[in-house]
Structure 1
């Protein structure tokens, strides 16, 4: 079984109170708004770390149709924190790549705009 474990950093823009985070990683060239899950693979989110200046609600969203004009998303987890928090679980969030059009992203909401970050430990593995 082939798998790749990597860290994704999701950042708010610091000037708006809602939006979709910018995602960066050492294996991503530049930055993206979502990560597509290859067909026949799973994205396993093992750990979530949040840090920031203001209270922020992060939502991990999953979509089956990211390639379409108006993709529909499902919220799979919501986490709110002010300051720092680390959540590690024995059971990861598992998101499947059934057709290759699946992807996940992270959105945020804040009462007042500020910088906040969420790091995800993601494993891409074959079914």
Structure 2
């Protein structure tokens, strides 16, 4: 399988055969560079979660709820935002691939269900979760 996940003009990741490749942009000639790669078989599990993060390019102090995808491997952990610069289609394809590979996905907040629901944005979905948790 070959799939690139994320905003191609920024750091992103992809599945290329049996490897996860981490890409960093190279600004000379709009090329991308693989900065790290690791075997899919080294992934112990994938964790999906959200956290409040200060938005860039906005009024100072404005926070957003950002979903994250974290690969926990034998040697190192890698974290990427899920709902910024990533299409639902790309993310769901990657999730389905990992499920077919029998890689455990820890999804305490049921974020996968939020990504599968085309009637709600991820920010709205996480907002609903945070409001439900307060009640």
The two structures have a TM-score, normalised by structure 1, of 0.28
The structure with more radius of gyration: 2
Bigger strand share? 1
Higher RCO, Cα 8 Å, sep 6+:
1
